[in-house]
Amino acid sequence: WVVLAVWLVLAGASALFSALQTALFSLQPVELRALREGEPEFARALEALLARPRRLQAGLLMADALTNLPLVLLSLHILRDWQVAPAAPLWLATLMVFGLVVVAFDLLPKLAGLARPLAFARLAPALLALLLRRTGGLAQRLQTFSERMANRLLPAAWRPRASVEADEFDTLVRLGEEEGVLRAEEGGVIREILRLGDRTVKDCMTPRVEIFALPDDLTNEEALRRVRRSRFRRVPVYAETPDNILGILDVRALLENPEVPYAELALPPSFVPETMRALNLLQAFRSRAQAMAIIVDEYGGTEGLITAADLHEQILGGAAPRAEAELAIEAIEGGRWVVAGEARLDDLAEKLGIPLEAHGVDTIGGLVFNRLGQIPRQGDRLEFPGLAVIVRRVARRRIEELELVPVPVSEPEEGDA
């Protein structure tokens, strides 16, 4: 009976993983939209899973394989133990069991997942969050290994490749500027759009701690007072905590309908995963009336907020020439500098003549935050080749101001290895 119980558990797990493989990737946009309106917390958790489809697929395939193999072996043991077809040779029994497992616990569950994707998807967030936490690293390594093997074994013509690589496009832009086909400002805008394709929405968002939002239990008069102080045109409305965003309030609608509770005037919000490409979101904004989205993390919590204006600023602000005042950098006595946390690394490197760069980080504050590995505090100090960085002011867990102190670069003594 213990063996039979284990077999039933393995069979159920195999069928469930097979059904989820088709159910999760068969959800229609209209179903996801209905979930955002009716069950926002569940929708955020589900969209966080779907935001990384390759990781999700790798985890499901690995879990399915890890249940199918012992299921086949245990089925063979049960057949032999119960004397079912004892005269059948081992190869034939194995073939029969394998066919049964494929049809009963792989093919049929996948058809069920296609027929009722939403019903199976409701099981996904809780189950897969635990599964991916425990096996995500192994699944990622297996995925990377399989991709490398495919790249080696498949002909080059079969491998997906963009028609023009980013560096090739940048070369074309530079040639266009040199030949006078493009003005310098136009070339700068094109380059910033290319860079936007490499950034995620998390790189461009307003962080959660800086979001201005309204709880849903205020009076209209109090809501109007707060909105007037903020001077924002669109404001998120939440219930209890900012993790439960109910909608986006257009302030004009409240001014035109002061007698209607403002929470009822809020439009359904758009949720996007933090890993979404910023350029993809900009394209999505162009096709919809609402130019604001709530960014959610992998657990469905609110990570930040982003608007079309934020993305436009990334393009135009990065392409426009910046004066020294706009670089947020000021020289003080002793050859030192005071800079704002949002000062860009490329600007500082050009100004100070010291190379400052880090993968996935654009600002000096972000660089210090990443190197510290903890919430920065006033007085924290880091040293880079030729430069010491001291945190001068922190507000709401963000670095607002730093001091840069040039330090001599120590050279190895003669005879050192």
pLDDT for residue 264: 92
pLDDT bin (cut points 50, 70, 90) of residue 327 is very low
Domain hosting residue 379, numbered range = 325-406
pLDDT for residue 85: 64
Rounded distance between C-alpha atoms, residue 404 and residue 368, angstroms: 12
Q: Determine contact, residues 125/41, Cβ cutoff 8 Å.
A: no
Least confident of 67-71, 242-246, 370-374: 370-374
Same domain, 248 and 283: yes
Helices (H) and strands (E) in the chain, counts: 18, 12
Same domain, 220 and 110: no
DSSP 200: B
Is the pLDDT at 324 greater than 50? The verdict is no
pLDDT bin (cut points 50, 70, 90) of residue 165 is low
Same domain, 36 and 16: yes
Residue 332 resides in a domain:
yes
Residue 115 resides in a domain:
yes
The residues, any chain, with a CB within 8 Å of residue 53's CB and separated by 6 or more, are 25
Q: Which residue has the higher pLDDT, 166 or 108?
A: 108
**Chain-centre distance of CA 288, in angstroms?**
21
Least confident of 71-75, 134-138, 335-339: 134-138
pLDDT bin (cut points 50, 70, 90) of residue 260 is very high
Rounded distance between C-alpha atoms, residue 152 and residue 63, angstroms: 26
Instruction: Give per-residue pLDDT as tens, 186-217.
Output: 777 777 777 777 788 888 888 888 889 999 99
Rounded distance between C-alpha atoms, residue 47 and residue 145, angstroms: 26
pLDDT for residue 320: 44
Least confident of 12-21, 72-81, 163-172, 298-307: 163-172
Is the pLDDT at 178 greater than 70? The verdict is yes
Same domain, 345 and 288: no
pLDDT for residue 397: 66
Least confident of 8-17, 174-183, 217-226, 299-308: 174-183
pLDDT bin (cut points 50, 70, 90) of residue 325 is very low
Is the pLDDT at 240 greater than 70? The verdict is yes
Least confident of 117-121, 264-268, 281-285, 354-358: 354-358
Same domain, 93 and 192: no
Helix, strand, or coil here: 299?
Answer: coil
Examine the fold and report which residue of 267, 286, 317 is the final residue of a domain before the chain moves on.
Answer: 317
Q: Determine contact, residues 19/128, Cβ cutoff 8 Å.
A: no
Rounded distance between C-alpha atoms, residue 311 and residue 291, angstroms: 10
Percent of the chain whose predicted confidence (pLDDT) is above 70 = 83
Is the pLDDT at 318 greater than 60? The verdict is no
pLDDT for residue 326: 42
pLDDT for residue 141: 74
Give me the torsion for CA of 82, 85, 86, 92, rounded to 10°. Answer: -120
Residue 57 resides in a domain:
yes
Nearest to 348 by CA among 411, 403, 409, 397: 403
Same domain, 284 and 340: no
Indicate the average pLDDT of the chain.
Answer: 79
pLDDT for residue 346: 76
Residue 396 resides in a domain:
yes
Examine the fold and report which residue of 89, 124, 153 is the final residue of a domain before the chain moves on.
Answer: 153
Give the count of domains, the chain: 4
Nearest to 311 by CA among 291, 290, 294, 340: 291
Is the pLDDT at 413 greater than 70? The verdict is no
pLDDT for residue 137: 66
pLDDT for residue 125: 84
Same domain, 114 and 228: no
- The total of other beta-carbon atoms located within 10 Å of residue 100's CB is 13
- DSSP letters for 321-352: ---TGGGTEEEEGGGEEEEETT-BHHHHHHHH
pLDDT for residue 163: 45
Q: Which residue has the higher pLDDT, 284 or 159?
A: 284
Residue 159 resides in a domain:
no
Same domain, 39 and 102: yes
pLDDT for residue 417: 37
Same domain, 10 and 112: yes
Least confident of 42-51, 68-77, 180-189, 212-221: 180-189
The residues, any chain, with a CB within 8 Å of residue 296's CB and separated by 6 or more, are 44, 47, 48, 271, 272, 273, 274, 302, 303
Please compute the mean of the pLDDT values over residues 323-346 and round it to a whole number.
71
pLDDT bin (cut points 50, 70, 90) of residue 127 is confident
Is the pLDDT at 415 greater than 50? The verdict is no
